[in-house]
Structure 1
Amino acid sequence: MFLTDNGSAMWLYVILWGVGAVLALVGMIRGKAGLAILWYVFLMLTWVAGYFGAWVAQEGDRYTRAWMSAALYGGNGINALGAFYLMRRIDETRATDITEAHKIVRRDE
């Protein structure tokens, strides 16, 4: 609610999630989900910013649980970013192994 002016701009967030769904679908078809994962990380960090901003901007009542939501969404974003880099590393290793195998096959021919 902090980032959407009490919900009046929530339509923008719905559109952003729709873009994420399309990216995920295209990623599933192509077999590459990297862009969809990065988009998900962006959305999670947007939520972190909103909850953290709401927590900081509150006057008087510092014992709200907005910081807990910021930590939860931040953890989700960090985990997804870690999965992205792990998948990228696995793909690079697999490509290197395949290249090395091709070199061995060509040498034996």
Structure 2
Amino acid sequence: MRLRFRICQHSRDIKLINSIIKYLNCGMVEARSKLNFVELVVTKFSDIEHKIIPFFHKYPIQGIKSLDYKVFCTIAAPPSLFQREGVGGCIPSLSERGDALLIKDKAHLTVEGFEKNSKD
């Protein structure tokens, strides 16, 4: 399994994406010219663990995307990351970690996994 963090923007915002890459000192630009959008993509796990997650702990995501980010943290970050000094705010509960592991193991694609997710 490969973890990937990405931010998509309209192609006119490529300068913004490049500024974010420069600020975070990680990631790359992927352009989708036929679809008129660009993506900032980070796939290096150490960059996700040491740059992306701490950034969004310091500056929390607001709105509905915060739920997606919480799932991302659940899958991406070992519990020890949340115990480090200066990092906090998105500590996944045990049930959320269990749900993430269910998805990570693709158990949600089985009848039993589907039924478990349907009950929650």
TM-score by length of 1: 0.28
More strand per residue: 2
Q: Pick the structure with greater CA Rg.
A: 1
TM-score by length of 2: 0.26
- Greater relative contact order, per chain length (Cα 8 Å cut-off, separation 6+): 1
More helix per residue: 1
